[in-house]
């Protein structure tokens, strides 16, 4: 077991912290040279579980990790395409949205292109603890890795993403029979593809629809059933007026809004991100159902306005109890495999709640510039990325604001650093004067 010190440690090499690494190199090179980014996987793959061959990003390529902050940056998606000698071909596609796999390649390219910020793989964070000074002030952090090594830092940035949401009703089922969308690509190969599996796909938004299509491709003999609480599948709310609420400039308005206004904004924008499907996905899925009905096969089925109120094993079969929200009536659905397109837990991830518990905080609250409010004096600081939807708006976990946010956090760290260095200098001067 070893220990080392850096000034800034970022946990998780996803888009948020890669955008921060770029901002550090462009805005704070001295800090960048003493910054470390750790990733628990062996490489960087965006949305690893759902990196389906033909899946498209839902965001313009211009909303990459840097362009909205610095259009001249060498880390832009355009420069990535140029470096891969396919800029002409991408332009010829006539599309603003790249393939999801292409975004993933871009992220790895960015990590490989960093000149000052170090990136280390296979480094899984186990615990985070504060370091306290003589007066109880927080002076920094110690991160313990899964292998027992420790890393000390003054500035900590947590960008490890949210926890997958697995509804409690499925807790009693064997783990090998339940696959969340975040694990689909890693685990579907374990399922024997030539058997006539009955597959239950849970959810009514984009990830569930993608799982439904993926099951038809990867398990060609399967009979999939889609189960959702909503009245049916709907497209994303994508009005240009609504999309203005994804601007980084709107974060100020949302942060300054009252609790009721925030609740209304998040509720009305649910279909703009969580509760809808991309138009192409929606059209393709409807055509599949149309062709199935036309052929008379009855292979595909869908239950809308339905709750799953129980789940159990009966021999080798999974039995789901379906309750109709319209009538209150129930029925059992027997299936072999459950695919969960149920998204992510809205609350703070376990890593953050464990940290706030150890700090004695009732909850994780952040400033406008994403710094965790510690409730006491501190010369060290912790920043949270991608988990502040309740205070910063629905765009917080998306690519839309990454470029601008990374700049805000970098400038905030530099200001925090300057303030506390100035305070330390004053204390040293007073101490010297007293001694004299």
Last-in-domain residue among 322, 340, 358: 340
**What is the pLDDT, as a whole number, of residue 161?**
85
Query: Please, which contacts does 190-197 make with residues 24 or more away whose CB atoms are closer than 8 Å?
Result: 191/218, 191/219, 191/337, 193/218, 193/219, 193/220, 193/221, 194/220, 194/221, 195/219, 195/221, 195/336, 196/221, 196/222, 196/223, 197/221, 197/222, 197/223, 197/336, 197/337
Last-in-domain residue among 291, 306, 340: 340
In total, how many domains does the chain have?
2
Mean pLDDT of 186-211: 92
pLDDT at 192 over 90: no
Residue 197 sits in which domain range? 168-236+275-340
56/105 same-domain check: yes
Q: What is the pLDDT of residues 148-170, one digit of tens each?
A: 999 999 999 999 888 999 999 99
Residue the block writes with tokens 């002409």: 88
187/335 same-domain check: yes
Reported confidence tier of residue 423, pLDDT bands at 50, 70, 90: low
397/282 same-domain check: no
pLDDT at 274 over 90: no
Contact of 66 with 22, CB cutoff 8 Å: yes
- Average pLDDT over the chain reads 93
Mean pLDDT of 351-378: 94
pLDDT at 431 over 50: no
**What is the pLDDT, as a whole number, of residue 53?**
85
Report the predicted TM-score, pTM, of the whole model to 2 decimal places.
0.92
**What is the pLDDT, as a whole number, of residue 1?**
74
Last-in-domain residue among 289, 313, 340: 340
Query: Please, which contacts does 289-296 make with residues 24 or more away whose CB atoms are closer than 8 Å?
Result: none
Q: The sheet that has 301-303: what strands, in order across it? A: 178-180, 337-340, 198-202, 223-227, 301-303
């Amino acid at each position: 077991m070893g220990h080392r010190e850096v000034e800034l440690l970022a946990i998780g090499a996803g888009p948020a912290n890669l955008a921060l690494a770029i901002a550090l190199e462009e805005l704070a090179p001295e800090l960048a040279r003493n910054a470390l980014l750790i990733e628990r996987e062996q490489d960087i793959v965006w949305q690893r579980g759902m990196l389906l061959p033909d899946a498209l990003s839902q965001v313009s390529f211009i909303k990459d990790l840097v362009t909205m902050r610095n259009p001249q940056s060498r880390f832009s998606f355009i420069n990535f395409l140029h470096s891969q000698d396919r800029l002409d071909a991408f332009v010829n596609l006539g599309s603003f949205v790249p393939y999801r796999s292409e975004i993933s390649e871009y992220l790895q390219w960015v990590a490989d292109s960093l000149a000052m910020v170090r990136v280390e793989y296979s480094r899984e964070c186990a615990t985070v603890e504060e370091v306290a000074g003589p007066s109880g002030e927080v002076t920094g952090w110690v991160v313990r890795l899964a292998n027992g090594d420790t890393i000390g830092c003054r500035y900590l940035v947590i960008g490890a993403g949210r926890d997958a949401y697995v509804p409690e009703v499925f807790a009693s089922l064997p783990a090998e029979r339940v696959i969340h969308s975040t694990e689909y690509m890693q685990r579907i190969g374990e399922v024997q593809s030539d058997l006539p599996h009955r597959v239950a796909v849970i959810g009514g938004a984009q990830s569930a629809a993608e799982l439904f299509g993926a099951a038809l491709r990867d398990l060609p003999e399967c009979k999939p059933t889609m189960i959702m609480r909503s009245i049916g599948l709907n497209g994303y709310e994508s009005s240009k007026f609504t999309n203005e609420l994804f601007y980084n400039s709107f974060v100020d308005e949302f942060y300054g809004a009252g609790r009721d206004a925030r609740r209304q904004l998040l509720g009305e924008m649910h279909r703009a991100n969580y509760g809808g499907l991309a138009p192409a996905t929606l059209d393709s899925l409807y055509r599949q159902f149309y062709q199935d009905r036309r052929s008379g096969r009855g292979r595909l089925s869908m239950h809308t306005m339905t709750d799953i109120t129980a789940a159990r094993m009966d021999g080798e079969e999974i039995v789901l109890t379906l309750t109709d929200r319209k009538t209150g009536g129930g029925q059992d659905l027997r299936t072999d495999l459950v695919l969960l397109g149920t998204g992510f837990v809205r609350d703070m991830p376990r890593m953050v709640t464990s940290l706030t518990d150890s700090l004695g905080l009732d909850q994780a609250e952040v400033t406008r510039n994403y710094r965790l409010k510690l409730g006491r004096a501190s010369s060290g600081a912790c920043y949270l990325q991608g988990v502040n939807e309740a205070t910063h708006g629905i765009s917080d976990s998306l690519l839309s604001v990454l470029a601008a946010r990374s700049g805000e956090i970098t400038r905030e760290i530099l200001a925090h650093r300057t303030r506390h260095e100035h305070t330390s200098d004053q204390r040293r001067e007073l101490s010297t004067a007293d001694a004299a």
